[in-house]
Chain A
Amino acid sequence: MADFAAIYRAEARPVLATLIRLLGGFDLAEEALHDAWLAALDQWPREGVPRNPRSWLVSTGRFKAIDKLRRKARFDRSQDELILRMDVPDEPFEVEPQTIVDDQLRLIFTCCHPALAPDAQVALTLREIAGLTTEDIAAAYLTKPTTIAQRIVRAKAKIRDARIPYEVPEPAELADRLETVLHVLYLIFNAGYSAPSGLVPLRTDLSSEAIRLMRLVNDLIDEPDAKGLLALMLLNDARRDARLDVAGELVPLDEQDRARWNRPQIDEGAALVAQIFAERRLGAYSIQAAIAAEHGQSATAEATDWQRIVSLYDLLLRLEPSPIVDLNRAVAVAMAHGPEVGLAIVDRIDADGSLSQFHLLHATRADLLRRAGRTHEARTAYAEAIALSQQEAERRFLQRRLNGLPS
C-alpha cells in the first residue's frame, strides 16, 4: 500500500502553485486541491497510484473546479465569462516538471509582491508555498493565529482585487522584486535559525524550507546575490547540530564541536562563494556568506583568518552601513588584535546610541570585558544583556557566562 500521506506532503504545494495559475485565484485553487485529494483517496486505493500523481492531481483539481463553476453558472450568468476564459479541454493532461517549478516561482513572486505589507509577504509565503499552517506561522512569529489568518486573508484579497499578476517580473523589474523575495526568504530562514524570542531556539523546518525555496529561485534566476544568500543559508545551517549541546543549550561558535558541522553543506556553500567572488559581482548576502565560509573552513577558532574576516566586514560596511554590521566587525577586530581594540569600537557604537537597547551590544561588550580581564565591568554588562534579551536559551547562556566569572 502506497504512503498517501507522503505523496500529499510532497505534491500538495507544487500542485497548488500550478492550480493557482490555471484557475487564476487562491481560493478556487485551494478548493480544487482539496477536491482532487478527496478523489485520490477514493480512487487510488482501488485503482492504484497513477504513474504521475502530480499531473493526476492537477488535472483532476482543475476539472473539479471547472465542473463546480459550470454548475454554478446555471444559476449565475456572470460565471460564463470566467469559464470561457479558462478554455478547458476535459481530458487529463501531463504537467511538465519545469512548469511546476516555474509556477512555484511565480507564486513566490506573487506572495512577495512589494504592494503587499511586509508582514503579509512572510505569512503568505509560509502558508502558500511552504504549506505551514497558520498556527505554525503564529508560533514562529509569536503572534496570534487569528492575526496571521487576517493578514493572509487581506493579502489574498489585495492580490485578487488590485490584480497582482501571477508572474515572474520582467527583466527590467526583476532586480527590485528579487530583492524583496530574497529578504522574505532570509527572514524565514532566520526565524528558523535563530528565533527572535521565545522558548525554542531553533525551528529547523523553517530553515530547511527557506533553503529549498532559495534553491528554486537559483535554478531559475542567475543573480550573484541570490547565489550568495543560498550560500549563506547553507553555511549557517551546516553548523546547526553543533549550536546546541545535549541539554539543548546554546554553544558559541568558538566552542562548537566542528566535527558535528555538516561538511558537504559547508563545501557546497564555500564553492558558491568562490564562484561569486570569481564573477566579482558582490552583494551584501555574498559577503556575509564569504564570512561564514571563512568560519566554516577553519579547523579551529584560533586558526580562523580573522584579518580576512575584518576586511570582509569593511567591505560589507561600505556596501550597507549599519551599526549591527559594525558590531560584528568589532568582534572580528577583537579576535585579530585583542579585546581592548574591539572594546574601543564597541564603545564608539554605544556612544552613537542607536543600539543601546540591543542585547547583543551588551553581550558583546561583556564578552570582550571578560576576555580583557575586566571582571567587574563584565558583570554589569552581562546583567544588562540578560535584562534586554528576549530569548530563554540566550539568557541562560549569558547567565552561565556571568556565573563563570572569577569572583
Chain B
Amino acid sequence: MRYLCLVCFDGNELNTIDAETWKQCQVDSAAYDEKLLRSGHMVHAEALQSIETATTVRVRNGKLSATDGPFAETKEQVAGFILIEAADLNEAIRIAGGIPLARIGSVEVRPVMDFKSGLG
C-alpha cells in the first residue's frame, strides 16, 4: 500500500536553525532516500520550492482564477513529499520517523486511496 509522507515545516522555526544542522540534514536526507530506494520502499520523492512561489488555482462557474500563495495560510508549510510503499501504517510510521527532516519539522502520513482493490 502506498503512503504519502508530507514533510512540513514551521517557516519561522526554520530560520532559527543553524547552517551546520541544516547541512547535516541535507546529507542525511540524501542517504535516507538512497536507503529507501534500495529497500524498495521509495516510490518518489521531491523537495518543493518555498511557499512564496506557490500559486493557487480554482475554477468556479467555469472561470479559472489563479491567486498568489498556498491553499492554506498556516504556520506549517509543505516543504516536500516522499511517496512510499509500506505494508501497513506501522511500517509507514517507522519509515516516516526515519526521515531526517522529521527531526526539524513534522511529517504527515496519508494513505493513498486505492481505487483498484475494491476492498475499501
CB distance from B107 to the nearest CB of A (A): 13
Q: Is B60 an interface residue (CB 8 A)?
A: no
Q: How far is the CA of A162 from the CA of B4 in the complex (A)?
A: 11
Contact status B119-A115, CB under 8 Å: no
- Taking the closest CB of chain A, its distance from the CB of B66, in whole angstroms, is 33
Q: Assuming A163-B88, A163-B111, is B117 touching A115 (CB within 8 A)?
A: no
Question: Does the CB pair A163–B117 fall under 8 Å?
Answer: no
**Which of A74-82, A137-145, A180-188 forms part of the interface with chain B?**
A74-82
Q: In the complex, what's the smallest C-beta–C-beta distance from A81 to chain B, in angstroms?
A: 7
- CB of B93 within 8 A of chain A? yes
Asked whether A81 lies within 8 Å of B88 as measured between CB atoms, the reply is no
Whether B117 lies near A78 (C-beta < 8 A) is yes
Q: Are A115 and B89 in contact (CB under 8 A)?
A: yes
- B92 CB, nearest partner CB in chain A, Å: 8
Q: Are B118 and A165 in contact (CB under 8 A)?
A: no
CB B57 to nearest CB in A, in angstroms, measures 28
In the assembled complex, which residues on chain B have CB atoms less than 8 Å from the CB atom of A167? 90
B120 within 8 A of A: yes
Tell whether, in the assembled complex, residue B90 and residue A82 are in contact, meaning their CB atoms are under 8 Å apart.
no
Q: A76 near B118 (CB under 8 angstroms)?
A: yes
* Chain B proximity of A397: nearest CB distance (Å): 46
Give, as a whole number of angstroms, the nearest-CB distance from A156 to chain B: 13
Taking CB atoms, residues of chain B closer than 8 Å to A161 are 111, 120
A173–B119 Cα distance when bound, in Å, is 29
**Are B118 and A78 interface neighbours, CB within 8 A?**
yes
Please determine whether A173 and B88 come into contact, CB atoms closer than 8 angstroms.
Answer: no
Contact with B along A143-160 (1 / 0, CB 8 A): 000000000000000001
Give the size range of B's interface with the partner: 10 to 19
Q: Is the CB of B111 within 8 A of A82?
A: no
Interface residues of A in 105-145 (CB under 8 A from B): 113, 115
In the complex, which residues 89-120 of chain B have their Cβ closer than 8 Å to any Cβ of chain A?
A: 89-90, 93-94, 109, 111, 117-120
Answer yes or no: A169 CB below 8 A from chain B CBs: yes
Residue A341 lies at the interface, judged by CB distance under 8 Å to chain B:
no
Once bound together, how far apart are the Cα atoms of A164 and B87, in whole Å?
A: 10
In-complex Cβ contact of B89 among A81, A82, A163 (8 A): A163
Q: Which residue of A lies closest to B118 (CB)?
A: A78
Q: Which residues of B contact A165 (CB under 8 A)?
A: 87-90
Q: Which A71-92 residues have C-beta < 8 A from chain B?
A: 76, 78-79, 81-82
Q: Which residues of B contact A79 (CB under 8 A)?
A: 118
Interface residues of A in 341-387 (CB under 8 A from B): none
* C-alpha gap A161/B120 in the complex (Å): 7
CB-nearest residue of chain B to A165: B88
**Nearest-neighbor residue (CB-CB) of A161 within chain B:** B111
Q: Are B119 and A82 in contact (CB under 8 A)?
A: yes
User: Which residues from B are CB-within-8-Å of A169?
Assistant: 90
Task: Find chain B residues with CB under 8 A from A162 CB.
Answer: 89, 109, 111
Indicate if B14 sits at the interface (CB-CB under 8 A).
no
Give A78 to B120 CA distance when docked, in angstroms.
Answer: 11
A164 touches which one: B89, B118, B120 (CB < 8 A)? B89
In the assembled complex, B1 has its CB within 8 A of some CB on chain A: yes
Chain A residue numbers with a CB within 8 Å of B90 are: 164-165, 167, 169, 173
Q: Give Cα A164 to B92, complex, Å.
A: 10
Q: Which B residues lie within 8 Å of A115 (CB)? A: 89, 93
Shortest distance from the beta carbon of B116 to any chain A beta carbon, whole Å: 9
**How far, in angstroms, from A88 to B89 measured CA to CA in the complex?**
26
In Å, the complex CA distance between A82 and B118 comes to 10
The B-contacting residues of A in range 226-246, CB under 8 angstroms, are none
Which residues from chain A contact B109 at a C-beta distance below 8 Å?
Answer: 162
| Chain B residue at smallest Cβ distance from A177 | B90
CB pair B119–A78 under 8 Å, yes or no, is yes
The 7 closest A-B pairs by CB, nearest first: A78-B118, A165-B88, A163-B88, A162-B111, A164-B89, A162-B89, A163-B89
Q: List 27 A-B contacts (CB under 8 A).
A: A76-B118, A78-B117, A78-B118, A78-B119, A79-B118, A81-B117, A82-B119, A113-B89, A115-B93, A160-B120, A161-B111, A162-B109, A163-B1, A163-B87, A163-B88, A163-B89, A163-B111, A164-B88, A164-B89, A164-B90, A165-B87, A165-B88, A165-B89, A165-B90, A167-B90, A173-B90, A173-B94
